[in-house]
Chain A
Amino acid sequence: MHASSAAAPAVHYLNNEKTIKSWITTVDHKRIGVMYLVAVSLAFLAGGILALLVRTELAAPGETIMGPDAYNQSFTLHAVLMVFAFIIPAIPAVMGNFVLPIQLGAKDVAFPRLNLASFYIYLIGAVIALTALVVGRVDGGWTFYAPYSTSVGNGVLFITMGVFVMGFSSILTGLNFIVTVHKMRAPGLTWSRLPLFVWSIYATSIVQVLATPVIGITMLLLFLEKLVGIGIFDPALGGDPVLFQHFFWFYSHPAVYIMILPAFGVISDLMGTFSRNRVQGYKFVALSSVAIAFLGFLVWGHHMFVSGQSAVSSIVFSLITYLIGIPTGVKVINWVLTMYRGSVWLQTPMLYALMFLITFSIGGFTGIMLGVLAIDVHLHDTYFVVAHFHYVMMGGNVIAALGGLHYWWPKMFGRMYNETLARIAALLVFIGFNLTFFPQFIMGSRGMPRRYYDYLPEFEIFHQLSTLGSYVLGVGLFMILGYGIHSLFRGKKAPANPWGALTLEWTHTDSMPDPHNFHHTPVVTRGPYDYHLAPELFNDGVSGDGAGESAPEIVHRDTSEA
């Protein structure tokens, strides 16, 4: 198992079987990860195109390219696709599936068939949700607030059923990962030696298992409300619309952590690897993810400060919101400190990690702003909120996912991508992202409400900047798609460990990995970021040269040390 050349191994997970049937019936976590990658990329593409349509409509006041009903449906579908079909599965289902079992030194997840079932459930859910497009009108945003959501077209029936079904995929994936982390760690891989990516996926899985049933029930009740008018939420039938909001946010706030915790894991791995240092405050970063997972259940009411919930509950929710904010802030400080006295290697994945620290910090600070009761009253449901959650969701999750994708790409596909193009695209994404969303903070705090088809002239300049930014962002993202596809066919062959990383997927598997990951079960004798031990582990201690001219194998692996 000494992969001494950059050439891909003769047998790897992509070529051991080549029939279509071998793909649709595969239980290999790596193949399932790749299938999720294709599926969530399509969802991201569709959601992204809708976002560009929305931004184009808002480029000028009045009607630009579509009428109000088309606009209202566009932003709603953008949100539903991005939240349920893209962000929630993005990092856990793609990178969690591909990387987590290998980082644990396992041959697969604990329940491989269940894993495949999760993928199909996700697909079925997505198809049901998209049926709504054909059936008709779904508007009002991804929050489906009653009684509006039950008063318009039948499309909502399909969206709610789709979300209900996709929820099972999320629950089963979470369950699978929890059991895998508990039961399938390699000998010597103690909890304190787990890569932080594993810790974060573990924390995420807890939230997925505990919170997702709540959205399931909520969607089911909304479905029945629409279908037979049972009157849980519609006041005209004796229901309570605020109850719906409690139900909805009881899931959807924890869901924010389903979206962001995996990003924390990716960033931790990137900061350690590309700084050649231990991640500062390893224990704090690891355990605070788990703490945040649980505390995340107790803050849903901060979405409802002006909804009519009691003042006392608003005050309690505001306080707990801060309790969650602090560990998150400390993590950012730890990541920055990880570079201290390190050897900071500014390859594309690291550029995304640094970008994350900047954009996520802005998302975090504006979150503190929104958590202040008196200020939230002013900012609630304005573009300030839109900007804030895009800084957290896109500036957090998507930027981290892009970093992770560039980091694990050589492992997944055995090829390098063009480093120069990747850096240019990263810059475009950074500029485009900030140009899109920063003006939204300003217009939001100046009073521009969200979900508006039209706006007053005073907001025009901000909307135009934002639209311009979205095009730059779009160009950057399409560039990534372009050189990614190019890399699959023409990219330089990747060595087993181009980054000189120390986690098992790099040190003990080939690029691409064997169908069974390892030829022998690895034995772990050190922490995931013990880069100061590199000379002993890698003989000469050098740290790989990434996308160098011929991408040679620099890291000499000696599995007998393990």
Chain B
Amino acid sequence: MGENGSFWLPEAASTIAPEVDALFYFVYWTSILFFVGVVGFLIYFAVKYRRKDHSFVPPAFHENKWIETASIVIPTILVLIVFTWGFKVFVKMYAAPPDAYEITVRGKQWYWEYEYDNGVVVPNEVHVPIGRPIKLNMSATDVLHSYFIPEFRVKHDVLPNRYTSLWFQVDEAGEYQVYCTEYCGTSHSAMLGKLIAEPEAEFQRWLSDQNADRPPEELGEILVASYNCAACHSVDGSRGVGPTFQGLFGSERQFEDGTTVVADENYLRESILMPAAKIVETYPPAMPPSYSSLSARELDGLIAYIKTLQ
């Protein structure tokens, strides 16, 4: 990101982005013009009328009605232009074309989940076709989130128990950064996703591939990466917000209440589905219950993958 952008703005990748940028730079240059004027006069006056003789008494100065009037009228005209312009682009952003390709998005602590109309569910990395409008129908399952793609200049809050949406169209294939921009807890800054825009044919192939069978360990590894488990759980033994996955399986777990248990399949399963049930000593109960919607196959995959990390 940024390689094709300007100093102030990232690459303009969506169809609406150039319109936003034009407005941005109009406001920017107009502001620069006024700012240079204000600061220029400020410095000029401060130097020119700087006190030279402390007994000098400036004569009473009478206000100039023309300056007063102009300083109200000109900015008013300018802001009305900017308002109208901003309003027109906003309306375009707001109303999705009726033929848009729709994808369901769920914001959860701390990942994005996407569901396609054929039932395919993928976390965090969403593929979309280029050359046609895409509409995201969004809701959250826990707290507020906000869906933001800087290169597309689109953003909308994602709320629990309510649907919001945003739309965009990308004409160039590419990979784009997705951020959560509404504070949502410990790993808010790790709630990063990717959007991959690709030609229709590739997109369709990817979509059908999602139903292909994979060995459980491989599926588990993909899930760990895409659900961003590494935000809290390392796979190399280092300490994070939560315990590392390395050497986890088969180890003895010590809990706050003094009891212990050996980490077997049932323990891992419980820890993923009901994270608050058993809290390992010295760790905070930070893991949200966002993962209870994992399928049995995905759970098996995760456990199989953790088993391989010895």
Contact = CB atoms under 8 A, between A and B. Distances in A.
Given A278-B60, A368-B82, A374-B23, A140 B183 contact: yes
Interface in B17-72: 19-20, 23-24, 27-28, 31, 34-35, 38-39, 41-42, 45-46, 49-61, 63, 67-68, 71-72
Interface string B93-112: 11000000000000000000
Instruction: Give the residue among A280, A442, A446, A534 with the most B Cβ atoms within 10 A.
Output: A446
Instruction: Give the residue among A72, A141, A340, A377 with the most B Cβ atoms within 10 A.
Output: A377
Contact of A311 (B89, B90, B177): B90
Given A147-B143, A322-B79, A381-B146, A342 B188 contact: no
A175 B94 CA distance: 43
A361 B162 contact: no
Contacts of B24: 369, 375, 378, 445
Interface string A347-364: 000000010011001100
Interface of A: 67-69, 72, 139-141, 145, 147-148, 151-152, 235-236, 241-242, 275-278, 280-281, 284, 306-308, 311, 314-315, 318-319, 322, 325-326, 329-330, 332-334, 336-337, 339-346, 354, 357-358, 361-362, 365-366, 368-369, 371-375, 377-378, 380-382, 442, 445-447, 449-456, 458, 530-532, 534-535, 540-545
Given A68-B241, A326-B72, A541 B55 contact: yes
B235 interface: no
B57 A535 contact: yes
Interface stretch (B7-15, B115-123, B246-254, B273-281): B7-15
B28 A68 contact: no
- Interface secondary structure of B, over-half rule: mixed
Nearest to B43: A354
Contacts, number: 269
12 contacts: A69-B284, A139-B185, A140-B185, A147-B144, A148-B143, A308-B159, A318-B83, A344-B46, A372-B86, A374-B87, A532-B57, A532-B58
Contacts of B82: 322, 368, 372
Given A330-B75, A373-B86, A375-B20, 12 more contacts: A140-B185, A145-B183, A148-B185, A311-B94, A339-B46, A339-B49, A342-B49, A343-B57, A369-B31, A382-B181, A458-B1, A531-B58
Contact of B181 (A241, A314, A329, A450): A450
A535 B59 CA distance: 11
Contacts of A530: 60
Chain A to chain B: the 4 pairs with minimum beta-carbon distance, closest first? A447-B150, A374-B89, A235-B161, A372-B86
B188 A452 contact: yes
A287 B54 CA distance: 33
A365 B31 contact: yes
Contacts of B27: 368-369, 372, 375
B36 to A, nearest CB: 10
A72 B183 CA distance: 9
B156 A306 contact: yes
A284 B68 contact: yes
B286 interface: yes
Instruction: Give the residue among B41, B58, B91, B187 with the most A Cβ atoms within 10 A.
Output: B58
A281 B143 CA distance: 49
A344 B189 contact: no
A520 to B, nearest CB: 27
A357 B55 contact: no
B45 A339 contact: yes
B42 A354 contact: yes
Contacts of A368: 27, 31, 79, 82
Interface string B222-240: 0000000000000000000
B186 interface: yes
A199 to B, nearest CB: 17
Instruction: Give the residue among B142, B181, B185 with the most A Cβ atoms within 10 A.
Output: B181
Interface string B196-233: 00000000000000000000000000000000000000
Nearest to B190: A454
Given A346-B46, A378-B20, A452 B189 contact: yes
A562 to B, nearest CB: 19
A357 B67 CA distance: 18
A543 B54 contact: yes
A330 B59 CA distance: 24
Contact of A329 (B75, B80, B86, B184): B75
Contacts of B308: none
Given A147-B160, A280-B63, A531 B35 contact: no
Contact of A68 (B46, B72, B86, B189): B189
B245 interface: no
B157 interface: yes
